[in-house]
Structure formats: structure tokens, C-alpha cells
Amino acid sequence: MSSFQTTDLNQSNRRKESLVRILLGMVTLTLIIPVGIILVTLIAKSEGTFSWAFFSEFPRNSMTEGGIFPALVGTLWLVAVALLASVPFGVAAAIYLSEYAEDTALTRAINLAIINLAGVPSIVHALFGVGAFVLFFEFGTSILAASLTMAVMTLPVVIVATRESLQAVPQPFREACWNMGATRWQTIWRIVLPNSISGILTGVILEVSRTVGETAPIMFTGAALFLPFLPTSVYDQTMAMSLHLYVISTQVPDVPEGLPYGVALTLIAIVMILNSVSIGFRTYLRGKKKW
């Protein structure tokens, strides 16, 4: 008898192996199904909605006709201002936490706060935004108040993503710099940041894609149901894609069936494009990795 022959144990193990593989595969598949159904439904039902006018015109006839132009522009404003607020603060805080802070009780408290902040429901952020930005700082219901609310909400994501990319830069590089007499900042500026910028950008793009879809935090702080003009400054109110979708799906009578589906598909498309850009970017930079 050869010593390399299959035993009963081998066979039973192999059967278990294929069973487990099939089970896991099926679970994964069921996860993809809803996404697929959503996409297919959206595409099917929004049939005929899309045209150049859909993207370039104002809504007409109590939002039952016309396009989504002011909502698109408004979302752009909201996201841009939110980024301007959250990225500098978030990156600065992450640099401090990753490169400067000693492991003290205070640092640990801050880290805990960041994690908890990420878990706060967005409606709570919305109410905070009303209290802090709309009322206390007297920004009124405006792009500024809405964007700052979103910025506070997404700050943890920026901080965590940035800190992780900073921490991915191997410690020996820092030690080499310090041992040549580089200060912390020289080390960060010349070595750490150039090697983590890809990760930071990826985090930022992911944040954007999250921000695009948020409704609650902008509902009470700066987004309007309908405005016949575009915002001209951060103190104006604005329409936004997410809120527009909510409004025409639930608040306005006699909306043609395709319209909400078209808005929803556009919203999802924006998020997907952003995510693909982010993933593509990461893959590209990972290929260029220098160590």
C-alpha cells in the first residue's frame, strides 16, 4: 500500500471543506442580491427620466416636472464647505494624535471620544447643529450651518483614516530622521506625509461619498425643500439631492413615478463614482509603494 493514498479522514475533511465553502459563498451571494435588486429596480423604473434637461433645469410645477439642477449644485456646495472645514481640522488632529501625543490618560480619552463621536446618530448631530451653528453662532439655516454640522459628523472618519495612513508609515523611517537630528515636524513634512498622502486622500474621498447621501443633518440646518434660485454665498439656504429625493418621494403629490427613481439613481451614481475613484486611486498608489 502506498503511503500517499487517501484515507477516510481525508475524504470526510474534504467533504466538510466543500460544504463550508458553499455555505460561505451562498451567504455572500445573499448579501449582494439586495444591492443588485436596488440597482436594477432603479434603472428600470427611472427609464426615460434622464435627459440633459433633467440635470440642467430647475424643478417646475411644484416639483413634478423639470430637473434637479439646484439640488446638484446645492449638494456640491454643502460637500465642498464641509470638506473645507473637516479636512484641515481632522488631518491636524490626526497628525497630533499619531505623531506627537504621548500615550497618556488624556490621549486615550480623546481617542475614545472620537470613536464615540463616530457612533452618534446623525439626527443627534442635526439637533446639535441647530443648537450650535444655527442658533448659538447665529449662522441661521444656511449652507454654513449645514456644512459645519456635516463636518462635525464626519470628522471622526477623517481623523481615523488619516491616523491609520500615518501609522502605516514604518517607524524605522521616523527613527532614521530623528537620529539625523530632524525635528518631529521635519520628519512629518519630508517623510511621513508624502508617504501617507494617498491614504489620507482615500479617506477624504470616502468621507465625501458619505456626506453626499446624508439627509438628517442638513434638514434642519440649511437645506430647503424648494428654492427658485441658486445659493450665492455660504449664508444662503440651498436645495440638496438627498433632501430633494425625500421631498418628492413623500411630501409632494402627483410626482411622476420615474422622477424619484431618477434622483435616487443619480445620488447612488455619485456615491459609486466617488468610491470607485477612491478605490482606483488606492490601488494605483499601492502599486507605486516605495517599501
Partner 1 sequence: MAIETKGLSLWYGDFQALFDVDLSVREGQITSMIGPSGCGKSTFLRTINRINERHSYVRTEGGVEVFGEDVMAEDVELVQVRKQIGMVFQRPNALPISIRENVLFGLKLHSTKKMSRAKQDDEVEKALRRVLLWDTVKDRLGDVATSLSLEEQQKLCIARLLPMKPRVLLMDEPCSALDPKATSAVEDLIWELRGEYTILIVTHNMAQARRASDECIFMLMGKVIEHTKTEEMFLTPGHQETADYIEGRYG
Residues in contact with partner 1 by the rule CB under 8 A: 102, 170, 172-173, 175-183, 186, 190-191, 195, 290-291
**Minimum CB separation from partner 1 for residue 284, in Å?**
17
Q: Which is nearer to partner 1, 12 or 183 (CB)?
A: 183
Single-letter amino acid code for the residue at 277: V
**Minimum CB separation from partner 1 for residue 194, in Å?**
8
Q: Which is nearer to partner 1, 73 or 191 (CB)?
A: 191
**Minimum CB separation from partner 1 for residue 190, in Å?**
8
**Minimum CB separation from partner 1 for residue 179, in Å?**
4
Q: Which is nearer to partner 1, 142 or 165 (CB)?
A: 165
Q: Which is nearer to partner 1, 187 or 266 (CB)?
A: 187
Q: Which is nearer to partner 1, 198 or 238 (CB)?
A: 198
Distance in angstroms (rounded) separating the CA atoms of residues 103 and 1? 63
Beta strands 59-60 and 65-66 are antiparallel
**Minimum CB separation from partner 1 for residue 99, in Å?**
11
